[in-house]
Chains A and B, each alone.
Chain A
């Protein structure tokens, strides 16, 4: 492609970019020249700076429904010290590096952090997985040039086209291929470009990946090795990554959060990280996990959520919820992006009502940490579950039913669910459909008034 053609293309891309981020990312994938891609990327950054987030504007007099300020939210580590004073993280780092005898103080001086957003944290986790185990493969649609969300940037050049590659455009093919590779001893990390497009692979996930170990019986246990992989017949090591959740303008097919469809499937693990630090630790845990894992990445956080992330490799547990903020009066349970909404609502409500709210991040949506949630509700007596996906038969239904069964005598109010309405996310209406700060705020207020 000659230079003037490149420039024309860039102009077209940038013009479209003002309207739709996805058109932009799709265009990048079709551009062959590296130089042109760089120009487009630069233009993209300039445009975002110039125009701001025009699609996430708020009502002029809004007090609650303000855009999340990721640079100040307490959910992210804004300093290296903050990141390394997180005891779970330090324990994870020490465990991953076998340094059991070092003290916490010594550890904080040993480990280093760097500021990363969610996609770079994913990228560094993928790079670590590829580097540390030659059985790891990374593939999907448009993965090779770096991915439409840049998560696989530079991986193909570092690890070669045999281990990081594009597949034909077929989700059932991608997941079926990944299952086969896992059955034959590889550690495939497959990407579905958007969670909205995972449904063609539903059969492969539900009937195959989830059931392989069970149906293989003793063939799955064959000569099990210590690392949990073994050479038995199962899908250990299989990770299916997918960007999920709302971004303000994704409409029907770039917004969905289908996690509850997978939480109904024994055999699968479903994980949703809330931050770059979590994304890295949970993704590396998913890669090591002897069970197949659905890993849903909140795509609105890919660039927005920036924090200090340890540079070393580490894993976070796949069966533990994270109590982000302790409290006495209400338990708010959520995961992924809505945690930022919850945090803002809690800040406002605690100021207005002088109450104390406990915020819990489930992290692993199935199998989930029922004990931590029930312990909290037994203490507070009130529980609210918040998620983006529709309320009907959503994760909130499972949490609410479990809490009702396990904490009935301690409940001072009915469990509330603040979630997407039971509709599709029409383009113009997202901010009215997904739970926002005002709705969480109101829910906390109402549960305290009950």
Chain B
């Protein structure tokens, strides 16, 4: 890799080097290392402690107060009626066909959500989580990324998978844990993943994916440098405002900043972490205010305005690639219209009328629809057809997946290690003889190959 090794050899900086570069800003853009002289210059009006190199002295004793009055503004393009707020601005940079695609993707997610939520209620799948109210964040940001940008998601970003190319068959294979599920029936429903689509498999522990995204972005940064003629990539990482309270959030933003990783941290601030409202989650100005503290360029956006989310993500991506790479934090504001999951009844902790208000008055789907109708590219008939098609497609995939075989039983133990251990082989043999001894106690018929699938031999 081309790097500035000659100037900054090793970690040790001599006074000579310091003297040479202190005339410039105190950051080396390449390695983001801060060089500073240890000594305080006589008569300087600024602190030269190594921990804060550009702090002015003051004799006024004043605590910096966290004030709600100067909350970071929220960027939007469309108002609740789908009208462009600032007429003087350029019209949204999007073609009609792309706008229709975004709309269709959001509707497809929401139609599937309703069907699968009911399917869980009927006991057809074990678990489900809908994205209601947040379809715009996932679909809008995905549309501004390159397909080769790796994505780390939390779990309420079905729209990412929809935009990247998941078909209803793909969703159903995972939800019903069929033999076509790439996760081989090991993960709970909604824990999607696709190597082909550069989507890392979702895991349940919250926020663990945030430092992964920082590390992956560092890898991508190295690969960008090694292949400068290839398309330069960034990593995108999604999480809720509740997950941002985890230590991993802190660890990740800090290391991404210090290592200058090209990563977009996208926070979905939907007001609730299961039952916990944001007032019990944090007392600062949301998540966005923290980004600045880590030295990360930050923006807050109206998550119900898909065009704003798209534009913000597009510009954030460009920013993240500047000067070799840097992280950017996007806080997308929205409201979790749905229950947290199928295991949650949210009316135990919030008023139904509040939810109905959000559903009716403002959500990303109706807002974009109003804008498209005003533009004359959408109408009631198209709407009816889209919803009927989506419903039909989901139900067709649903019925097919329901009747599909499960993955072979070997999947219960393969892939723990690259190769099965002796201990595992022995245990699989024990399981086999147990199943043979008690054939009536277990039903292996739904698994591909039945008992024949119970082998750790290479496929």
Q: Which residues of B contact A33 (CB under 8 A)?
A: 12, 14
Task: List 8 A-B residue pairs with CB atoms under 8 Å apart, sorted by A's residue number.
Answer: A33-B14, A177-B215, A180-B211, A186-B215, A217-B201, A217-B411, A219-B193, A222-B195
Q: Which residue of A lies closest to B258 (CB)?
A: A168
Q: Rank and list the top 8 A-B pairs by shortest CB-CB distance, nearest first.
A: A176-B211, A180-B215, A173-B251, A180-B212, A184-B219, A177-B215, A290-B418, A144-B11
Q: How large is the interface on A (under 10, 10 to 19, 20 to 34, 35 or more residues)?
A: 35 or more
Instruction: Given A176-B210, A236-B418, verify A166-B11 contact (CB < 8 Å).
Output: yes
Assess the A168–B255 pair: CB atoms within 8 A.
yes
Judging by beta carbons under 8 Å apart, are B416 and A267 in contact? yes
Cβ contact of B422, chosen from A145, A212, A290, A371, cutoff 8 A: A371
| CB-nearest residue of chain B to A223 | B195
Are B422 and A217 in contact, CB atoms less than 8 angstroms apart? no
Contacts of A196 in B (CB 8 A): none
Interface centre among A174, A178, A203, A219 (most CB of B within 10 A): A219
Those of A158-185 within 8 Å (CB) of chain B: 160-163, 165-168, 170, 172-185
B61 to chain A, nearest CB (A): 30
Q: When the two chains form their complex, are residues A216 and B422 in contact, meaning their CB atoms are under 8 A apart?
A: no
Q: How far is the CA of A182 from the CA of B150 in the complex (A)?
A: 13
- In the complex where A217-B411, A232-B195 touch, is A168 in contact with B251 (Cβ < 8 A)? yes
Q: Is the CB of B208 within 8 A of A204?
A: yes
Chain A residues with Cβ below 8 Å from B31 are: 161-162
Are A183 and B3 touching (Cβ within 8 A)?
no
Give the residue of B191, B203, B216 whose beta carbon is less than 8 angstroms from that of A184: B216
B212 touches A183 (CB 8 A): yes
A206-255 at interface with B (beta carbon < 8 Å): 207-208, 211-222, 228, 231-234, 236
Chain A minimum-CB-distance residue to B194: A219
Q: Is the CB of B183 within 8 A of A217?
A: yes
A63 in the interface (beta carbon within 8 A): no
Give bound CA distance, A11 to B62, whole Å.
Answer: 40
Does chain A have a CB within 8 A of B165?
A: no
Which residue of chain A is the closest to B1 with respect to CB atoms? A162
Q: How many A-B residue pairs have CB under 8 A?
A: 205
Are B251's CB and A211's CB within 8 A?
no
Are B211 and A177 in contact (CB-based, < 8 A)?
yes
Find out whether the CB atom of B183 lies under 8 angstroms from the CB atom of A216. yes
Contact B11 A145 (CB under 8 A): yes
Say whether A172 contacts B247, CB under 8 Å: yes
Cβ contacts under 8 Å, A220 to chain B:
415
Whole-angstrom distance between the Cβ of B418 and the nearest chain A Cβ: 4
Give Cα A83 to B98, complex, Å: 68
Is B248 positioned at the interface, with any CB of A under 8 Å from its CB?
yes
The contact of A178 among B1, B10, B215, B222, by CB within 8 Å, is B215
Interface residues of B in 419-458 (CB under 8 A from A): 421-423
Q: Which of B1-16 contact A (CB under 8 A)?
A: 1, 3, 5, 8-15
Q: Is the CB of B208 within 8 A of A181?
A: no
Contact A177 B218 (CB under 8 A): yes
Q: Collect the chain A residues with CB atoms within 8 Å of residue B196's CB.
A: 222
A130 on the interface (CB 8 Å rule)?
A: no
A residues near B258, Cβ cutoff 8 Å:
167-168
Q: CA separation between A184 and B205, bound complex, in Å?
A: 20
Are B11's CB and A213's CB within 8 A?
Answer: no
Contact check, A162 vs B219: say whether CB atoms are below 8 A apart: no
Residues of B in contact (CB 8 Å), total: 65
- Min C-beta distance of B251 to chain A, whole Å: 3
User: Shortest distance in angstroms between A247's beta carbon and chain B's nearest beta carbon?
Assistant: 26
- Of the candidates A145, A188, A218, the one whose C-beta lies within 8 Å of that of B182 is A218
> A184 to chain B: which residues have CB within 8 Å?
150, 215-216, 219-220, 223, 235
Task: Pick from B3, B215, B226, B251: contact of A188, CB below 8 A.
Answer: B215
CB <8 Å contact, B208 and A233: no
CB–CB A176/B214 < 8 A: yes
Contacting pair A367 B422 (CB below 8 A): yes
Is A266 positioned at the interface, with any CB of B under 8 Å from its CB? yes
The residue in A161, A181, A184, A215 that gathers the most chain B C-beta atoms within 10 A of its C-beta is: A184
On whether A267 and B417 interact (CB within 8 A), knowing A184-B150, A208-B205, A233-B200, the answer reads: yes
Q: Are B217 and A180 in contact (CB under 8 A)?
A: yes
- Does any Cβ of A come within 8 Å of B254's Cβ? yes
Q: Does A1 contact B (CB under 8 A)?
A: yes
- Please pick, from A137, A170, A208, A218, the residue contacting B254 in the complex, using a CB distance under 8 A: A170
Docked pose: A232 CA to B248 CA in angstroms: 25
Give the distance to chain A from B308, nearest Cβ to Cβ, in Å.
29
Nearest CB of chain A from residue B351's CB, rounded to whole Å: 35
Distance, CA A214 to CA B415, complexed state (A): 5
* Cβ–Cβ contact A200 & B247, under 8 A: yes
A203 touches B411 (CB 8 A): no
Q: Confirm or deny: B34 has a beta carbon within 8 angstroms of a beta carbon on chain A.
A: no
CB distance from A384 to the nearest CB of B (A): 22
Q: Are A217 and B186 in contact (CB under 8 A)?
A: yes
Q: Which of A157, A203, A208, A217 contacts B184 (CB 8 A)?
A: A217
Interface residues of A in 357-409 (CB under 8 A from B): 367, 370-371
User: Does chain B have a CB within 8 A of A32?
Assistant: yes
For B416, the chain A residues whose CB sits under 8 A away are 213-214, 266-267
B248 contacts A172, C-beta separation under 8 Å: yes
Considering only residues 329-344 of chain A, those with a C-beta below 8 Å from chain B are: none
Q: Using A166-B11, A184-B220 as known contacts, say yes or no to A161 and B3 having CB atoms under 8 A apart.
A: yes
A436 at the binding interface (Cβ < 8 Å): no
B215: which of A179, A221, A234 is its contact (CB, 8 Å)?
Answer: A179
Is the CB of A134 closer than 8 A to any CB of chain B? yes
Known: A134-B226, A215-B191. A168 touches B247 (CB 8 A): no
**Is A156 located at the chain interface by the 8 A CB criterion?**
yes
Contacts A218-B184, A367-B423; A180 near B214 (Cβ below 8 A): yes
Chain A residues with CB under 8 Å of B200's CB are 183, 233
A217 interface neighbour in B12, B181, B205, Cβ under 8 Å = B181
Indicate if the CB atoms of A370 and B418 lie closer than 8 Å.
no
A:8-45 near B, CB below 8 Å: 32-34, 37
Q: A291 in the interface, Cβ–Cβ < 8 Å? A: yes
A222, B201: Cα distance in complex, Å: 13
Residue of A nearest to B185 (CB): A217
- Name the one of B8, B222, B252, B411 contacting A161, with C-beta atoms under 8 angstroms: B8
Q: How far is the CA of A185 from the CA of B233 in the complex (A)?
A: 14
Chain A residue at minimum C-beta to C-beta distance from B255:
A173
- CB atoms of A162 and B38 under 8 A apart: no
Is there contact, CB below 8 Å, between A207 and B203?
yes
* In the assembled complex, B341 has its CB within 8 A of some CB on chain A: no
Contacts of B152 in A (CB 8 A): 180
Identify A173's interface contact among B38, B186, B225, B254, CB under 8 A.
Answer: B254
Q: Which residue of B lies closest to A367 (CB)?
A: B421
A216, B251: Cβ atoms under 8 Å?
A: no
Q: Is B250 an interface residue (CB 8 A)?
A: yes
Known contacts A172-B211, A176-B210; decide if A185 and B219 are in contact (CB<8 Å).
yes
